[in-house]
Structure 1
Amino acid sequence: MPFIPLPFVVALLLLILLAVVLRRDGGSTRNLPLLALIVVSIWQSVLSGLRWGYDVRAVMVLAPVGAAIVPPLAYAGVVQLVRGTRRPGAKGLMLHALPALTVCLLILASRDAIDLVLVGVFVGYALAILRLMLPGADALRLAPFEGAVPAYRAILFTAFCLLLSAAVDTFVFLDFLWTHGDHARSVVAIGNLGLLVILSIAAAATGSLPEPAVVASPPPALDAAEDAGTMAAIDTLMQAKRVYRDVDLNLDRLARKAGIPARQISVAINRATGKNVSQYVNEQRIAEACQLLAETERSVTDIMLDVGFQTKSNFNREFKRVTEMTPLQWRERASSIAI
């Protein structure tokens, strides 16, 4: 029976993940950097399989280049969720290509410095991603509200993985320095392989872009009166027009419907309710779901779809967050009270 290295199995699983994501996002504007991140992870897994499974050492010349591409792709994917699908300028492209170009030069000139450069690249981009996420889930202006919180957590996990990868590279560098690489093989094979899988899953979890972004003007300074006006306008949209039923509703789309800058909406909701916008919108959805569960015999799935959710997992998670019950428990309680 032929020997199949574990990294090849991982590469096959990642390929299946890529196919699932492409099929899932078929009708949406795809987040190309995050898709490319999965492709690079597949490539890195294949190289790892050739190196550690069949001792083909020559292929490892390419591995540092692939590693240098991973952080810029992760960062670019997050930027698209935050700022939209605008293409970066020539300076931006050159800046993000710089890590890979530097590694290429070091392969020819000084291979010993590659590990240190990669550590700096991974740490730098991890911190840049965390900086983008400082506003919380509301930073993801283009992510539908239903999945904004999971996407936010996946992005934070991505930044953590980049930092962890930097720690693995640092350990390998010190291991070669102190023990001539006695532990490097197992650490690289298990550590980086696991990180590639986690990064790919996190990239898939952040989802696609429902539509191109509209550039919003900077909001004016907000005060209590302006907050109240903003909340009144948003509440009108929620109660009168039930815009929360739009499954693709996100912060940018809500801002266009209200005619109010996205940042102003985010700040007003946070000040008035202590919640982010995705939590506020999902609570409007859950409120109607509770009413329908109590007053009708319709199925939970039909109600879930009507109020703006697309997946049972997100619906059940948000329902329990708001009511501390499952939908069926809520219906049973409502029935017992009515009797």
Structure 2
Amino acid sequence: MLSIPLPFIAGLVFVLVIHHSLKGVEARGSRRYFLAFLVLYALQGMIVGIHFGYGVAALAPVQPVTASIMPPLAYLAFRGLTDVDVPKPWHHFWPPVLMILAIFLLPVLIDPLLLVIFLAYGVALWRLTRTDGEEMMTQASLQRMRPAFRAARLTAALMFLFAASDAGIAIYAVFRGTAIVPSVVAIINLLALAASLLFSMAPVVPDASRTIGKRAAASNPQDEAIVGRVLAALEDGNLYRDENLSLARIARKAGIPARDLSSAINRSAGLNVSQFVNNRRIAEACRLLEETGKSATSIMLEAGFSTKSNFNREFRRVTGMSPRQWRAKIRKERGAKSANS
């Protein structure tokens, strides 16, 4: 009886997790890379599963070629979420070309070449996430910056895992043969599956290192001027209410480079960009809670939030209480004033 290969399941779960993390992200030029990467990752899981699970040796030459395409695609996809253009992206398609040449001319180079490709792009992607933390994802909406950042970290970690496992399998096969390779492949995919599931279940919380919580001492008049321009940009057409608002869009509207804008807000307001915008959204939510009888959900959407969890978390961060408690407090204070008058 046919069974579903474990690598295919692991690949499918990873694809679904990454797709969910990047839901709503519409970065310029990045979408096609993400789509190609995710489709290829699922396909690779199927190829590995059929190759080792059912012994289809004809797929052996295909597997390293598809594997060599994924790291460049992943790097180009996540790089597209930043505000830095990729010069000559076609350079990143040399790995599969070199892999095809190795398959036909020097098969002994296949495993070393895969190791280099996965390590090189794993390091490149990890270094990319070291730049400005989650705020490197300037093209993603503010509420998707953190999930996109975590997805990039997960992808880089899996590249390191696959690089180490492929190297280990190749070395073991030279001295001990390939009898246990299918079992090792299964274990590796179980690890990848576990990592993807843990990633999907872990709560998305703000980066503590970016949450200062009070006015920074290093603020200066130039920072104050930048913050003023950002505030004006957010008020123009009620831009702050757009739930898909991104750092890149704010920067274009204010006419300030994204990195300068982010740094100025960090220093001047003691907040990251997402918190800064959410402060304005919470102020609007408070006004609507006080002046209207609209439900908290309606107010949440009108203020620019798309999820209750994010709205409640940010509301409590700013006011110290839930929306319902805040509305009750305002009504109680209003009733006390009426009674005294």
- Structure 2 counterpart of 1:213: none
Structure 1 CA distance, aligned partners of 2:264 and 2:140?
19
Q: Secondary structure of the residue that 1:143 maps to in structure 2?
A: coil
- Structure 1 counterpart of 2:258: 262
Structure 1 CA distance, aligned partners of 2:196 and 2:94?
21
Range moving further from structure 2, 295-304 or 165-174: 295-304
Given the superposition, is the C-alpha separation of residues 33 and 4 from structure 1 closer, same or farther in structure 2, using an over 3 Å criterion?
Answer: same
Structure 2 CA distance, aligned partners of 1:246 and 1:36?
29
1:14-33 paired onto structure 2 within 5 Å: 31-33=31-33
- Structure 1 counterpart of 2:95: 99
Range moving further from structure 2, 167-176 or 311-320: 311-320
- Structure 1 counterpart of 2:156: 159
Structure 1 CA distance, aligned partners of 2:154 and 2:95?
22
Given the superposition, is the C-alpha separation of residues 116 and 19 from structure 1 closer, same or farther in structure 2, using an over 3 Å criterion?
Answer: closer
Structure 2 CA distance, aligned partners of 1:20 and 1:147?
10
Q: Number of aligned residue pairs: give it.
A: 317
Structure 1 CA distance, aligned partners of 2:320 and 2:154?
26
Given the superposition, is the C-alpha separation of residues 337 and 159 from structure 1 closer, same or farther in structure 2, using an over 3 Å criterion?
Answer: farther
TM-score for both structures, normalised by structure 1: 0.77
Range moving further from structure 2, 291-300 or 253-262: 291-300
1:164-243 paired onto structure 2 within 5 Å: 164-192=161-189, 195=192, 224-238=220-234, 242-243=238-239
Structure 2 CA distance, aligned partners of 1:269 and 1:286?
17
Q: Deviations over 1:168-199 (max 9, x none)?
A: 21221232234324543222234247648978
What is the aligned counterpart of 1:279 among 241, 266, 275?
A: 275
Q: Deviations over 1:221-276 (max 9, x none)?
A: x9822111111222344467642101222122212322333232112112213333
In the alignment, is the contact (CA less than 8 A) between 1:44 and 1:66 conserved in 2?
Answer: yes
Residue 244 of structure 1 pairs with residue 262 of structure 2: no
In the alignment, is the contact (CA less than 8 A) between 2:300 and 2:311 conserved in 1?
Answer: yes
Structure 1 CA distance, aligned partners of 2:178 and 2:317?
48
Given the superposition, is the C-alpha separation of residues 196 and 124 from structure 1 closer, same or farther in structure 2, using an over 3 Å criterion?
Answer: farther
Structure 2 CA distance, aligned partners of 1:5 and 1:316?
42
Q: Determine which structure has more spread, i.e. the larger CA radius of gyration.
A: 2
- List gaps (5 residues or longer) in structure 2: 200-217, 336-341
Structure 2 CA distance, aligned partners of 1:275 and 1:27?
24
Structure 1 CA distance, aligned partners of 2:196 and 2:142?
22
Structure 2 CA distance, aligned partners of 1:304 and 1:37?
34
Give, as a single letter, the amino acid of the residue that structure 2 aligns with 1:32.
Answer: R
Structure 1 CA distance, aligned partners of 2:326 and 2:58?
61
- Structure 1 counterpart of 2:81: 81
Given the superposition, is the C-alpha separation of residues 199 and 6 from structure 1 closer, same or farther in structure 2, using an over 3 Å criterion?
Answer: closer
Give, as a single letter, the amino acid of the residue that structure 2 aligns with 1:264.
Answer: D
- 1:5 is displaced (CA, Å) by 3.1
- Structure 2 counterpart of 1:51: 51
Structure 1 CA distance, aligned partners of 2:22 and 2:246?
21
Sequence identity percentage: 39
- 1:291 is displaced (CA, Å) by 4.5
- List gaps (5 residues or longer) in structure 1: 203-221
Range moving further from structure 2, 246-255 or 3-12: 3-12
Structure 1 CA distance, aligned partners of 2:320 and 2:147?
19
Give, as a single letter, the amino acid of the residue that structure 2 aligns with 1:142.
Answer: Q
- 1:98 is displaced (CA, Å) by 1.2
- Structure 2 counterpart of 1:301: 297
Residue 288 of structure 1 pairs with residue 284 of structure 2: yes
Structure 2 CA distance, aligned partners of 1:17 and 1:319?
27
- Structure 1 counterpart of 2:60: 60
Give, as a single letter, the amino acid of the residue that structure 2 aligns with 1:311.
Answer: T
Range moving further from structure 2, 150-159 or 278-287: 278-287
Q: Deviations over 1:99-140 (max 9, x none)?
A: 111111111233333222212111211222233331222222
Give, as a single letter, the amino acid of the residue that structure 1 aligns with 2:101.
Answer: L
- 1:96 is displaced (CA, Å) by 0.9
TM-score for both structures, normalised by structure 2: 0.77
What is the aligned counterpart of 2:308 among 312, 316, 336?
A: 312
In the alignment, is the contact (CA less than 8 A) between 2:281 and 2:304 conserved in 1?
Answer: yes
Structure 2 CA distance, aligned partners of 1:257 and 1:56?
55
Residue 118 of structure 1 pairs with residue 114 of structure 2: yes
- Structure 2 counterpart of 1:214: none
Root mean square deviation of aligned Cα: 3.8
Give, as a single letter, the amino acid of the residue that structure 2 aligns with 1:143.
Answer: A
In the alignment, is the contact (CA less than 8 A) between 1:14 and 1:197 conserved in 2?
Answer: no
Give, as a single letter, the amino acid of the residue that structure 2 aligns with 1:127.
Answer: V
Structure 1 CA distance, aligned partners of 2:74 and 2:15?
18
Give, as a single letter, the amino acid of the residue that structure 1 aligns with 2:305.
Answer: F
Residue 150 of structure 1 pairs with residue 144 of structure 2: no
- 1:39 is displaced (CA, Å) by 0.8
Structure 2 CA distance, aligned partners of 1:35 and 1:22?
11
Q: Secondary structure of the residue that 1:247 maps to in structure 2?
A: coil
- Structure 2 counterpart of 1:215: none
In the alignment, is the contact (CA less than 8 A) between 2:5 and 2:46 conserved in 1?
Answer: no
- 1:10 is displaced (CA, Å) by 5.6
